Every structure is written in C-alpha cells, then in structure tokens.
Amino acid sequence: MRPWQLMVGDIKITALSDGRMSIPYRRLFPETEDAVWDGYRARFPEAFDGKGFLTNIGSFLVQTGDHTVIADTGLGPWGHLGGRFEPAELINDLRIKGIDHADIDTVFLTHLHGDHVGWNLTKEDDGYVATFPSARYLLQEADWLHFTSDEYQAKLSSARRKQAETTYLPLRDMGKLDVIRGDKDFAPGLTALHTPGHTPGHMSMLIASRNERAVLIGDIAGTPAHLTETNWLYAPDTDKELGMKSRLRVIDMAEKEKMVVLGAHMTRPGWGRLIRWEGKRYWQALEAAPDKDRASNRP
Ligand SMILES: [Zn+2]
C-alpha cells in the first residue's frame, strides 16, 4: 500500500488533492480569538500556516469490486475564488496515481460548494463536457434545489455565477445528474447519508466491507480541531444549528462505532480516528506520510 491508499475491508480508498488553501481563523470561526488556536497548533502543526488554517482540498477515490466512485472534485480552475495558493492538481493527481477518468462510474458530491465541484466539467473547444464521461453525478435533492434556486443564483457575483455555470448547473441538462432524497445505498457497501446543515443537502458516505467501517464526512469538519470543538459557530454552515447537530451526530457515530473518518479538509491524506484525551475527543491522523513522499506534491 502506498501512503495515499487505505483499505476498508475489501474497499480501496485513494486520497486525492486539488491543492491547499490558506484560510484566516475568523473566516471559518468568526467568534474565536486567535489565541484559542495555540493548543491546536501545537497538536496539529500540519493543519496551520502563519496566518490561519492550511486546508487541504481533498477528494477520495473509493473502489469496490464493481464500482469506482470519486467523492468531490475540488476547486477546479477557480482557485482565485477559493484562496488556493497551489496550482490546481486534482487532474494531475489522478494521472500520477494511474486513475483513468473513464473508469469512474459515480461522482459523489457531498455538497455544491465551489471547493467540491471544481472539476465536474472540463472545457473543450465546443463547450463543457463531463470530466468523468461514464459517471453519474450523485447529489442530494435539497442541495440541487437550494443551489439552483433563482433566489440563490441572484445573489451570486458574476464570477461565482460563471463558476456555477461551468461546474454544476449544466449537469441535469447533460443527463448526468442523479438526485437522491435522504439516505440511500448506492453501491454494495456504500451508503449516502443525508447530514444537512453545512448545506441543505450535505451528505456523508458510509463505507462498509467485511468487518470494517469508515465514514467520509465531507465538510462536517473544516479543520482537525473541529472534531473537538463541535459547538463553535462555523461560518460556512448554511444552517448553523442544524450544522452543529449533524456534526455531533456523525462524530458521535464515528467514535462509538470506531470508524475510520475521511475528511475533505483534513490534512493529507485525510483519514484518521477519534481518540479520547483527558475527557476530550480529538482527531488522530492515520498514515500521515511526510509531504515529500506524496505523489500529489511532485512537480
Ligand atoms: Zn469545503
């Protein structure tokens, strides 16, 4: 196994990344003072830079015997809107790790924020085409309705509108969209779990094979410290109360069931477990290989 791979029973997970963002503390947690982060910076130095959070833009490839699923597609060519300071690299990362776009049968979109849909489509001479030509794009109905509503679209800047038009809006007319409502088993061992709050249709993925389970949590946690501080106001949540409720529900489940946790914004490769330390719950990364060993960082 390579440092960017993990087995959950017979299911193979490959960590992918579309670069990293530098995000000031209060843009995510507006009610915190910088000093509250000192303890977390000491515990998780890899998750911080000089100004705030050093945030991975992570995707995961989930391979069962019969299905190949990519969960989230990064920021894409929209790095300047998301504060990404590294070049776009998800497409490079797929190539380096030997993954053929045509083998992917499902694009699992945890939600429709810009840093999760960026490479859904690719620009070609005569317009935009699906980056993953054989895939169905799986999405919760509540997110589709929210993000495509006239009310939501009317509030977008022209750059954000263009981003929507070149990432998710065309999916339905292209015949690529699979909208689901609530929880759903979508492949053997893989279950979509509706975990609303971050966005109305935010979803997580339960992964089960043999006697092992993992949960892919999308944006349930924005930084490793968030697994501990579940009740801090999180600015990107559409519905703050519901976001906290879903966050606690998923993290409680993961701890109780001793699941491996995969997070889009956890430090690469992005998987870990929950541990207890003096009564508090903490993220503990698994197989955190040094950056220099990671394929996604090769020039
Ligand atoms: Zn995100």
Distance between CA 287 and CA 85 in Å, rounded?
Answer: 25
Copy the structure tokens of residue 36. 């509250």
Q: State the average pLDDT over residues 162-191.
A: 97
Q: Where are the domains of the chain?
A: 5-297
Quick: pLDDT tens for 233-263. 999 999 999 999 999 999 999 999 999 999 9
pLDDT in tens, 12-64: 999 999 999 999 999 999 999 989 999 999 999 999 998 899 999 999 999 99
Distance between Cα 116 and ligand 1 center (Å): 6
Question: At the fourth CATH level, which superfamily is domain 5-297?
Answer: Ribonuclease Z/Hydroxyacylglutathione hydrolase-like (3.60.15.10)
Q: What does the pLDDT average to over 212-223? A: 97
The answer, yes or no, to whether residue 298 has pLDDT greater than 50, is no
In the chain, alpha helices (H): 25-28, 38-43, 79-82, 90-96, 141-148, 150-154, 158-165, 240-256
Between 188 and 85, name the one with better pLDDT: 188
Question: How many angstroms separate the alpha carbon of residue 188 from the centre of ligand 1?
Answer: 26
Cα–ligand 1 centroid distance for 212 (angstroms): 26
The DSSP bridge pattern shows strands 127-130 and 106-108 to be unpaired
Query: What is the mean pLDDT of the segment spanning 117-133?
Result: 96
Distance 75 CA to ligand 1 centre (A): 9
Ligand 1 center to residue 210 CA distance, Å? 30
Ligand 1 centre to CA of 255 (Å) is: 22
What are the residues whose beta carbon lies below 5 Å from ligand 1 (ion)? Answer: 115, 219
Give me 93's structure tokens: 């990362």
Residue 299: what pLDDT? 30
DSSP 25: H
Model pTM above 0.85: yes
* 99 CA from centroid of ligand 1 (Å): 23
Distance CA 261, CA 213 (A): 9
pLDDT at position 81 is 74
Residue 288: pLDDT band (50, 70, 90) is low
Residue 293's pLDDT band, with cuts at 50, 70 and 90, is very low
For residues 285-289, average pLDDT: 71
pLDDT band at 290 (very low <50, low <70, confident <90, very high): very low
